[in-house]
Amino acid sequence: MATENVDIDDSLYSRQRYVLGDSAMQRMARSNVLLYGLGGLGVEIAKNIVLAGIKSLTLQDPQSASYMDLATQFFIREDDVKSGRNRAEVSQPLLSQLNPYVSVKSTTQPLTEDCDLKCLKEYQCIILTGASLALQLRIDHFCRTQNPPIKFISADVYGVFCSVFCDFGDHFEVVDQNGEEPVEVFVANITKANPGIVTCLENQMHGLESGAYVTFKEVEGMTSLNNTTHQVKVLSPYAFSICDTTSSQYKPYITGGRCIEVKQSATVTFESLEAQLTNPSILISDLSKMESPASIHLGLYALHKYMEKHKTLPRVRHKGDAEELLKLAKSLNSTLINKVVSIDNELLTHLAFTAQGCFAPLTAAVGGIVAQEALKSLTGKFTPLNQWFYLDAQELLSECHKENDECFQPRQDRYDALRICVGDRVCQQLNSLKLFMVGCGAIGCEMMKNYALLGIGSSQHGLITITDNDLIEKSNLNRQFLFRSHHIQQPKSTTAAQSVLDINPTLHIEPQQYRVCPQTEHEVYNDEFFARQDLIVNALDNVEARRYVDSRCVTNQRALLESGTMGAKGHVQVIIPHLTESYASQQDPPDKDVPYCTLKSFPAVIEHTIQWARDKFESLFSQKPAAFTKFWQTNGSPETALQKFSEGSQLEGGLQALKMLKQQPHKWEDCIVLARTKFEKYFNHKAKNLVYAFPLDTRLKDGSMFWQSPKRPPVPIDFDITNQMHTNFILSLAKLLAYVWGVAVTCTDTHYIVKILEKTDVPPFVPSSKKIETDESAEKPREDEEENFTSDDIMYCCKTLSKLIKDGNAKQESLSLHPVTFEKDNDDNGHIDFITSAANIRATMYNIDNADRLKIKKIAGRIVPAIATTTAAVAGLVTMELIKIVKKSPLEHYKNCFLNLALPSVIFSEPGQAEKTQIHTDLSFTLWDKWQVKGNKSYTLKEFLKYFKTTYGLEATMVVHGVKMVYVPIMPMHNKRLPQTMIKLLKPTPKQEYVDLTVAFESSQGEDVPGPPVRYYFGGK
């Protein structure tokens, strides 16, 4: 394989690079893959691999398009079926459009059990779908005999069952097993013992696992540990053991030290398909169906034997064929090394009944998983599947025995493959569904494709409503597959709607561009809107928006499907009224904020300096320019402001505004000089002032050293005109200052910049008397806060402004600045250049390891890593749950899921039940309950309280509307409100029909207990 580097388009692959890294991206860009079989599963795999960015993909398929393909193969149209076009040839040009950097070729030649396989030697990975078992065995053997071995993957979906098999050879190297950032912790103590015990700083968990390797840096005393690597054994979340530290080479530990995880490669051994058929190694995903994977393995083994005998799949819902498959399975069971103790007869019957069909949500889920395994085979990034994975949707068949077998028979239309699996009644329910999806990004695009294949909203009663207020960016194209380059800067919702109509033109879709938020709650997404929906689907990328939609679903008692991804990780949550808990029922622990004093003066890790640079960007180029402009807009011309100062007025923001006006650059050279001055202030004077205030021998009250881990004493940075990082800081800062002040950038030539810098005089260091915050609990002062003016301040403002006016440096046209809005994805605007150089120079000042631009961009831009494979898998799993909601399945049939394709791990669990709150022995409620009180124009607070006493036997102890206390008996004067009408107390708007109130009651234990939300209707007014 060639080893030259390949240019990677960061604007296209940016989110994926954060997951896979440059090395893996380079390996992919040099790799050739063969994919055999372009049915529903094949095209899903192909789509994900092309989006990922390999060198070339060859599509091979001898089959023509059929009606059966329309339910799963999203690139095949009805005209292709009618004209009998080849599936690979139909798919090739459409797959090519997904990624201009990938060469996609097609061939219609069949792979047979006796064809010449020499042509396969050019590929690094071969993926088979829809292939006979004999062909799989032959190609797997061929792949294993090559040097180096060709990676082999086989995957299939039969009805509501699927299988994945991987064989990457006898010795496959995994360079990064989990893809996580290396753990880094600060050391509190290291014992001289056998073994030595390493303790972390207080309240800092190390996050390591036994067997991991770490290296030490900056340890004082036991210095021989520095830059050496040791295997750890975890003793507690805060301590681990290393080697024997009792020998003389290990001096007693004094202080300091960092411990950094060292990623180790691992070798994984695979067995051949032939060996694994009779002794399968299976990844278990659903702990409630522990025995199912073994039965599925046996059933699919038998299915291949059935096809060898009959040259066809079992007939749809044919009991005789199902019985034959069961006999074959029982016969094959005797050949397994670990026999299936209890063969699941019902499972095998379901397999036989549905095998001719193909369940689109399964093809989506498995397509994501298989594509990720293919990428692992090419890059060694992440732990591969070793070696079988099975997934099924048997829960959807639980009521099928009650329906006429005729309802499952194909009808030569686009839903045949789906109908065989779930029956015509479910197909019609999906056609008539009214679905509202919030967000149309990566998951949203995948979901829309799934909706089109299932025919959701395609009848006259059905409707899909989608909303997204974002426009399409180039970085979206890598994982939002409904969008193409010519769609950039077009609305996501309308573009996605048009794209899926190409897949299924019968859909009814209403695209919108509103946010779902409190501002649209009354006019757009009100209760009436939610009442019209059968189901809500979240396709969002932030927690705040998810919580809001969740709250609206709870209020309106609507089912919600929640999902999300982060890199190789993904989750699916099913939220059903009166059955399950809601999204808000469980909360992740809040991110721990970095203390203000740490960011400002005592950074310990690169993340601190990146955040400092990000904050500095906002302050210099956004907040201060905005405040400057506001000051002059508020206080008029400089002459008017001077008059106010002269009269003794304390004009808010005056000191800062005059300071900026005094420093304003008038030409490009001034911007460069000002940037050079900032360099000296941030990276030289700041360090000198800290060490001046806290000399290196400073001790705390308890006698311990002030400068001890994690505090690092800074070292002043002397500006070096030959240092690229230093000049990058100057140039990026100068350009941003020029933009803010409206100054023309005339020349950025290096020699020109150097000449100006050589002539620049920077102010000398003068110790500051300003207090340096060391209290970690102290909060950051607001940017717009200003100290109270003194008479001296007012005199300074008068004198400064007078001089500026006299010198002509306070002209009206320079009093309106151009604040900068941070934009991480435009590499020409200098935003990331400034933050990268500032963060790394500050890191150098504190002896912190520098970070590359990619990492800094990710952290500063708060970028969520994303890859198409995880997105496709999650969207497929969500759609499986969607159909269960349509069928109104019982709680035990629903599956929440957490997956991590890096490990790989796919874990299903039953959703948590809605928690009950007990008010009295015989009265309880859940989050889904809502009490309603119907009033009228004369309805009083007394009558309102009496309603609860009469209806529930409850004594109300508090009534609250939003933040307003309507009735609290212990409050003075509140009892006088009892005869007042609810209209008078609540003051509804003329069109307002109801309000939601919070009412607390006295429990049987005499305590105040909040009841369910109470919706009070005003009635006729």
**Catalytic (active-site) positions:** 597
Q: Which residues of 630-656 are buried (b: 16+ CB within 10 A; e: fewer)?
A: ebbeebeebeebbebbeeeeebbbbbb
Rounded Cα–Cα distance for residues 867 and 53 (Å): 11
The contacts of residue 757 (CB under 8 Å, 6+ apart) are 672, 676, 719, 721, 730
Candidates 545, 406, 548, 556; CA nearest to 927 is 556
CA distances from 153 to 112, 133, 279, 292 (A): 17, 13, 17, 22
Task: Say if CB 869 and CB 901 are below 8 A apart.
Answer: yes
Bridge-based pairing of strands 125-129 and 32-36 is parallel
Task: Say if CB 31 and CB 54 are below 8 A apart.
Answer: yes
Rounded Cα–Cα distance for residues 675 and 729 (Å): 8
Bridge-based pairing of strands 151-158 and 125-129 is parallel
Residue with tokens 């009070």: 1016
Sign of CA dihedral 775, 779, 782, 787: negative
Three-state DSSP class for residue 580? strand
Candidates 601, 566, 948, 893; CA nearest to 774 is 601
Rounded Cα–Cα distance for residues 360 and 351 (Å): 16
Task: Say if CB 538 and CB 438 are below 8 A apart.
Answer: yes
Candidates 408, 504, 571, 506; CA nearest to 72 is 504
The rounded radius of gyration (Å) of the Cα atoms in the chain is 34
Instruction: State the Cα torsion 332-333-338-339 to the nearest 10°.
Output: 180
Three-state DSSP class for residue 1001? strand
The one-character DSSP state at 513 is -
Residue with tokens 């690092």: 712
Residue with tokens 């398009």: 65
DSSP per residue over 124-160, as a string? Answer: SEEEEES--HHHHHHHHHHHHTSSSPPEEEEEEEEBT
Phi, psi of 106 (to 5 degrees): -135, 155
Rounded Cα–Cα distance for residues 621 and 6 (Å): 36
Bridge-based pairing of strands 1014-1017 and 994-1002 is antiparallel
Candidates 401, 514, 648, 535; CA nearest to 882 is 535
- Tokens of residue 538, six digits: 């979240």
CA distances from 266 to 179, 381, 903, 946 (A): 13, 11, 13, 71
HSE-CB at 286 with a 13 A cutoff on CA atoms is 21
Task: Say if CB 122 and CB 352 are below 8 A apart.
Answer: no
Question: What is the enclosing helix (H) or strand (E) of 552?
Answer: helix 543-556
Rounded Cα–Cα distance for residues 617 and 620 (Å): 5
The contacts of residue 797 (CB under 8 Å, 6+ apart) are 645, 651, 654, 655, 658
Question: What is the enclosing helix (H) or strand (E) of 932?
Answer: strand 931-934
